Amino acid sequence: MIVVGLLLMLIAVAIAVAIALAKGGTATTLELFGFSLSGLTPIVLFLIGAAAMLLLLLGLSLLRRSARKQRERRQQLQAVRTEREDSVRQLEEENAQLQQQLQRQQDQSRESRAGATAERVRDPRENDNDPPRR
């Protein structure tokens, strides 16, 4: 769209320059891009100039619309990136919490196994009323 807009603007400027360089009078010859139009009256030249201005405005409109779409696309992409980064950060925090919780559970499990093993390994000569030796 940008290329089309620029092309329309260039054509409009070329037409306007050709009209400005045309010699006045009752009948005028207009030469543009190797084409020659002869016998043009002032009203026809005015209409050609108006058409050139419409082409210029259409080209500007296409440029603005294209720039707006690109800006919206960049904003959407930035929003997606920010959302993804937030999601990754949240998942990393959750992962760290789960690792800490797992480490605590493993530590508790080791402590309880060590305590249970210590109680099972008793000297058979000990009395149940005596405190266990360690």
* Bridge partners of residue 121, in order along the sequence: none
| pLDDT tens, the chain, 134 aa long | 677 777 777 887 777 777 776 666 666 766 777 777 777 777 777 787 788 888 888 888 888 999 999 999 999 999 999 999 999 999 999 999 999 999 999 888 888 877 766 666 555 565 556 565 55
Asked if residue 16 is part of any domain, the answer here is yes
The residue written with tokens 């305590």 in the block is 115
Residues constituting the chain: 134
Enclosing domain of residue 13: 2-87
Asked if residue 13 is part of any domain, the answer here is yes
How many structural domains compose the chain? 1
H runs (alpha helix) in the chain: 2-21, 42-120
Q: Angle at CA 16, nearest 5°, toward 14 and 21? A: 95
Non-local (6+) Cβ contacts of 58 within 8 A are 5, 8
Asked if residue 134 is part of any domain, the answer here is no
Residue among 82, 84, 89, 61 nearest 5 (CA): 61
Asked if residue 39 is part of any domain, the answer here is yes
Positive or negative, the Cα torsion across 89, 92, 97, 98?
positive
Q: Token pair for residue 36?
A: 């020659």
Asked if residue 56 is part of any domain, the answer here is yes
Asked if residue 116 is part of any domain, the answer here is no
pTM exceeds cut of 0.85: no
Asked if residue 120 is part of any domain, the answer here is no
Asked if residue 11 is part of any domain, the answer here is yes
